[in-house]
Amino acid sequence: MTAWLTRIIPDQRSADARRDTAGTDGAIRLHRRLMSLFPDDAGPEARRRFGVLFRTEDTPAGVHILLQSTEKPDLTRLPDGYGDVRSRPLDPLLDALRAGLTVRYRCVASAVRKPGATTRALYNLPAVVPLSGAAADEWWLRQADATGLKPLQLHSQPLDTVHGRRGNSGPAAQQRVRHARTRFDGTAAITDPDLLREKIVEGIGRGKPYGCGLLSIAPARDAT
């Protein structure tokens, strides 16, 4: 399966680009924008069908958007003047993965745990509880192990919580969703290349329509 990585550098003179990257509600607007780059007739599971994962990154030059997908996006669907856009296949990177290779990684993820039914009822807890600090780090270490990575270094940073609604119309449109996000960076040794390829394409954890779950890796010597 071919995977594509697209980097979008929004032009802040574009009102569309500013709206898509502004505030904690911007993630759902950006998700809709990025999904518009793929065929319209994909049905309700379009994100999963096209393997769409994304995140925004703050850089010295401003916000950048990273989009990963299993189908090449139609970049002509972006509004005129939206920004500078480049796509490249990820296959050479994925094909080069091997056990024992040291890589640098980055993943913005929604680290959560699910309380048991008794605990939820006793303390009136939500279905999932967001994690932070050491608890979030432990969550990531478990995820990395299940992804085919053995972390050697780990740095984590809490990010803003993103907000959205479960749907565009009907009762779902009234249901607010919140995803607390943490950015995990570091180095790791590959333990299972096939599993790692699968998880890179699949994404990590919850909140994928809200800019969570995209795992980026690069050989340690080449990473910046």
DSSP-derived letter for residue 171 is G
The residue type found at 71 is E
For the segment 89-122, what is each residue's pLDDT rounded down to a tens digit?
Answer: 999 999 999 999 999 999 999 999 876 555 555 5
Q: What single string gives the DSSP state of each residue in 72-117?
A: ---GGGSPTT-EEEEEEESHHHHHT--TT-EEEEEEEEB-EE---H
Separation of alpha carbons 112 and 96, rounded Å = 32
Query: What is the per-residue pLDDT across 40-92, written as a single tens digit (0 to 9) for each?
Result: 987 888 999 999 999 999 988 889 999 999 999 999 999 999 999 999 999 99
Structure tokens of 27? 């993630």
Q: Give pLDDT tens digits for 127-159.
A: 678 899 999 999 999 999 999 999 999 999 999
